[in-house]
Amino acid sequence: MAEGAAGPGGAERYFTRWYKPGTAGKRAGPGRAQAGRRGPDSSLCPLADVKGRPICVITLAEAHPLLQSGKTIKNINYQISANCSRLQNKVSGKSKRGAQFLTELAPLCRISSSDGEEYTIYSCIRGRLIEVNESILSNPALLQEKPSTEGYIAVVLPKFEESKSITQGLLTQKEYEEVLLKRRMTRITLKSNKRKQANKTRLAHNTEENFVEDRNKILMSMSNTNFVTKRLKKNSNSNNNKNQQRI
């Protein structure tokens, strides 16, 4: 278990971090929508409440593109459709009446960056939406400066009968680091293969250019040789004619 800093409600908690890599979905960029690609990672922080039933704090994983250098958050929008806003989530009573029900792929919000990219943050688990973090609306920098604490996205309460199995399909910190390592190795391999292909293409292009250049030189040489041969033959015929006239 790892000690967590101030989270929802400002309380100090003990929690174990779990990760949901590559939630399927769409990521839109400038003038394009990319469907079917692996989406950015999310992380969960299941926090034990007084009854031992975990609640989950949804945050950005460390490797999320929004947390990489050079990214600036432009807008955070909890309005996920024309008829549904996570800000309209109203919860009352111990049974959390009125809470919006979420599936694993239910969007929580959409975050756009200054470079035109837009990222959809998903629930990652089934449960009821307890609260969203409205603080990041007025201070988006919290998402990048304190993503695991004050910059959390939302709090979700799993269904009671599913609360003991919420970590199925999730990764531990160590497993997630192994996934990141594999991704880095894959990117390095792809870049290396691209460089090799580019070098091979360049070499083939240069070889073709050299072949054409050599061929042109040979043709030019042959043309010059033919010209000289014809000139010599012409001179020889001219000399023979002159000698015959003298005789």
Would you say residue 77 lies in a domain? yes
Looking at residue 119, its amino acid is Y
Q: What per-residue confidence (pLDDT) applies to 244?
A: 57
DSSP assignment of 160-207: GGGGGGTTTT-B-HHHHHHHHHHHHHHHHHHHHHHHHHHHHHHHHHHH
- Tell whether 26 and 117 lie within a shared domain: yes
Residue 183 lies in a domain: yes
Q: Which domain holds residue 94?
A: 2-171
Quote the tokens at residue 181: 């390592």
Is residue 107 domain-shared with residue 48, that is, in the same domain? Answer: yes
Whether 100 and 221 share a structural domain: no
Please say which residue of 152, 171, 190 terminates a domain. Answer: 171
Q: Are residues 38 and 128 in the same domain?
A: yes
* Structural domain total, the chain: 2
Q: Which residues lie closer than 8 Å to 66 by C-beta, 6 or more apart?
A: 40, 60, 73, 111, 113, 119, 143, 144
34 with 88, same domain?
Answer: yes
What distance in Å separates the CA atoms of residue 38 and residue 181, rounded to the nearest whole number?
A: 16
Query: CA-based angle 17:2:146, to the nearest 5?
Result: 65
- Is residue 39 located within the same domain as residue 140? yes
The CATH number assigned to the domain holding 132 equals 2.40.50.100
Q: Are residues 59 and 111 in the same domain?
A: yes
17 and 135 share one domain: yes
Q: How far apart are CA 107 and CA 28, in angstroms?
A: 14
Residue 245 lies in a domain: no
The token pair at 81 is 């459709």
Q: How far apart are CA 67 and CA 243, in angstroms?
A: 97
Tell me: do 88 and 199 sit in the same domain.
Answer: no
Tell whether 122 and 70 lie within a shared domain.
Answer: yes
Q: What is the pLDDT along the chain (247 residues), one digit of tens a residue?
A: 233 334 554 434 557 788 888 743 344 443 333 333 445 666 666 555 545 667 888 998 888 888 887 789 999 999 999 999 999 988 888 777 889 999 988 999 999 998 889 999 998 888 999 999 999 999 999 999 998 889 999 999 887 777 677 778 788 889 988 988 988 898 888 888 888 787 777 666 666 666 667 666 666 766 665 554 555 555 555 555 555 555 5
Does the residue 230 lie in any domain? yes
Cα(90)–Cα(35) distance, rounded to whole angstroms?
Answer: 32
- What residue spans of 71-172 are helical by DSSP H? 135-138, 141-145
Q: Residues 166, 176: one domain?
A: no
pTM of the model: 0.66
Spatial neighbors of 146 by CB under 8 A, at least 6 apart, are 5
In eight-state DSSP terms, residue 92 is: B
Residue 43 counted as domain residue: yes
The residue from 113, 144, 171 where one domain ends is 171
Q: Are residues 178 and 152 in the same domain?
A: no
At 32 the pLDDT is: 33
